[in-house]
């Protein structure tokens, strides 16, 4: 059979007009992506053309409204999928299913929270504003692409869109050398991770002859594969690349320094939205695309989960900087979410999805407190700066206590059910040792959170806390309400996570 290029050359020689087939596009399935990317373009154009007449608060308000619009678009798309079923668009390159819509909605929520935190922070630190919001929206659009990508090349494009914007965001605080250092470290290590990921995609293509997950899944399930060396090498290299994005051990070294140096609202988005996007790619590629070879990649994920939980918990408890504590805590949480990935079952994926939603709001709320506590210069993050906070700002201390206890897995918070579901999925799969390690790690990590709580409710402390800005108040109210309400009534999120299992659709 002649290739398309050969047919085209033959037709040109015979003066025959060959019609080009363009892929059909279901634009409705791309609305969340269009909203975020279009919002970034509109914001950039408005700032360029009429920026001197636009008040600074309008940029933050516009970005938050774009995020809300994205959430509404996801809700509408969810109803459509519930009625008509999942489908694909852009020549099967993008899947529109409950999985992509659910995680896209979480990313849009994080855009809203990050924009609420940024307005007063940018004014306080005398930083440029419009660039922050444009980069935030562009990064989120990359995350949405990752959540729905049915093709490894499209997935890589989404990762780069998300990552490049975050590299710049991390280095935005020109008044702090730690911020530029954080951006540089994140960029250099991220470039290495992207190279590993791209090399892994090339090996998978060499083994299967395609980069489309639907075609790969069909190929791997049709007959035993002879070139397993290429495939397993691709698995390993892709896990390296994606392990960097989710901050899993041993690809975590960048996390404490970047979290400590980057602007606090940026870290709030990195710890939530970027992590959600990374796990979206990991779940879609491995638990769906490579499902037939799960016995080969699950041991690696098992090791990553154990290492992340243990290292994250142990290193966190010896830190004295709250941002570094939360950085190692995020590594530990990545290990818990990896338990659901390792199980590679419906219950495991449900547990991971619930955990991602719960953790995103917990950590965003935690860094909302950190943003307020940083004060001018964004450098008041030592544990001593939090001592006696309850006597100065009791509501702020209470909110931080709830978020910390939720991350510890205390009942009546979403963190309790998040840990419960992933451990239950491991036990159901027969991974009893993994479940025990998870429970021990949770106990160790609880010591970290209690250190901060005891410092806040202890006596002494020289920290001075000014008024809590309106944007931070609103962000804290949203995250606190989510953490407590769904910690008591988790059924709505559980039901959504159950219907958000990723599928591969080729039409």
Residue 4 domain-assigned?
Answer: no
Region 343-361: mean pLDDT is 93
pLDDT in tens, 365-389: 999 999 998 887 778 888 888 888 8
Indicate whether 17 belongs to any domain.
no
Q: According to the model, what pLDDT value does residue 423 have?
A: 94
The span from the first CA to the last CA of the chain, in angstroms, equals 25
Mean pLDDT in residue range 63-67: 94
Number of domains composing the chain: 1
Extract the tokens encoding 39.
Answer: 């919002």
Range of the structural domain that residue 350 is part of: 26-498
Q: Is residue 504 part of a domain?
A: no
Measured distance CA(422)–CA(350) in Å, rounded = 9
Tokens of 482: 């989510």
Does residue 105 sit within a domain? yes
Asked, as a colleague might, if the bond just before 482 is cis with ω within 30 of 0, I would say: no
- In 63-155, the DSSP E strands lie at 87-89, 94-96
192-218 confidence digits (pLDDT tens):
999 999 999 999 998 888 888 988 888
Residue 263 within a domain: yes
506, burial (CB in 10 Å: exposed 0-12, middle 13-18, buried 19+) = middle
Can you give the pLDDT at residue 2? 44
The verdict on residue 338 lying in a domain is yes
pLDDT beyond 50 at 250: yes
Q: How many CA atoms lie within 13 A of 311 on its CB side?
A: 19
* pTM of model > 0.85: yes
412: left (phi over 0), alpha (psi -120 to 50) or beta: left
**More confident position, 374 or 353:** 353
Q: In Å, how far from its chain's centre is CA 52?
A: 34
**pLDDT computed for residue 4 by the predictor:** 47
Q: Write down the residue that tokens 């590679």 correspond to.
A: 344
Give the pLDDT band of residue 226 (cuts 50, 70, 90). Answer: low
| Residue tagged 């791209």 (tokens) | 198
**Residue 23 burial (CB count, 10 A):** 9
| Residue 503 maps to a domain | no
Adjacent-strand bridge partners of 149: 94
Q: Is residue 144 part of a domain?
A: yes
């Amino acid at each position: 059979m002649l290739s398309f290029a050969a047919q085209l050359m033959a037709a040109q020689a015979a003066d025959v007009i060959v019609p080009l087939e363009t892929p059909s596009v279901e634009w409705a399935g791309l609305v969340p992506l269009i909203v975020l990317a279009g919002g970034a373009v509109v914001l950039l154009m408005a700032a360029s053309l009429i920026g001197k007449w636009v008040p600074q608060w309008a940029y933050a308000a516009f970005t938050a409204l774009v995020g809300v619009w994205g959430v509404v678009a996801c809700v509408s798309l969810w109803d459509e999928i519930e009625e008509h079923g999942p489908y694909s668009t852009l020549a099967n390159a993008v899947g529109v299913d409950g999985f992509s819509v659910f995680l896209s909605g979480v990313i849009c929520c994080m855009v809203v929270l990050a924009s609420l935190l940024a307005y007063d922070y940018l004014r306080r630190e005398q930083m440029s504003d419009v660039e922050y919001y444009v980069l935030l929206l562009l990064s989120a659009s990359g995350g949405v692409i990752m959540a729905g990508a049915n093709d490894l090349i499209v997935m890589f494009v989404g990762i780069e869109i998300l990552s490049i914007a975050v590299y710049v965001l991390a280095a935005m605080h020109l008044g702090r050398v730690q911020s530029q250092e954080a951006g540089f470290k994140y960029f250099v290590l991220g470039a290495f991770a992207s190279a590993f990921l791209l090399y892994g995609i090339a090996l998978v293509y060499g083994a299967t002859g395609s980069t489309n997950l639907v075609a790969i899944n069909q190929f791997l399930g049709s007959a035993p594969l002879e070139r397993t060396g290429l495939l397993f090498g691709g698995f390993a290299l892709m896990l390296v690349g994606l392990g960097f994005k989710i901050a899993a051990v041993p690809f975590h070294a960048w996390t404490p320094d970047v979290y400590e140096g980057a602007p606090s609202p940026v870290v709030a988005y990195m710890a939530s939205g970027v992590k959600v996007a990374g796990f979206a790619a990991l779940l879609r590629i491995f638990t769906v695309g490579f499902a037939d070879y799960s016995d080969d990649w699950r041991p690696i994920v098992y090791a990553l989960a154990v290492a992340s939980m243990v290292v994250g918990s142990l290193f966190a408890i010896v830190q004295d900087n709250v941002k570094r504590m939360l950085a190692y805590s995020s590594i530990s949480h990545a290990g818990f979410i990896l338990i659901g990935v390792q199980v590679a079952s419906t219950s495991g994926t449900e547990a991971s999805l619930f955990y991602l939603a719960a953790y995103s709001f917990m950590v965003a709320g935690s860094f909302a407190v950190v943003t307020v506590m940083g004060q001018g210069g964004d450098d008041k993050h030592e544990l001593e700066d939090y001592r006696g906070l309850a006597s100065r700002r009791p509501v702020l201390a209470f909110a931080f206590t709830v978020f910390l206890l939720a991350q510890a897995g205390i009942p009546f918070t979403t963190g309790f059910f998040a840990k419960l579901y992933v451990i239950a999925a491991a036990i159901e799969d027969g991974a009893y040792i993994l479940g025990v390690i998870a429970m021990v790690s949770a106990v160790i990590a609880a010591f970290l959170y209690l250190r901060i709580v005891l410092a806040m409710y202890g006596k002494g402390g020289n920290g001075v806390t000014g008024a809590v800005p309106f944007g931070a108040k609103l962000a804290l109210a949203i995250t606190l309400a989510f953490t407590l309400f769904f910690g008591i009534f988790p059924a709505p999120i559980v039901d959504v996570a159950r219907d958000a299992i990723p599928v591969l659709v080729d039409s």
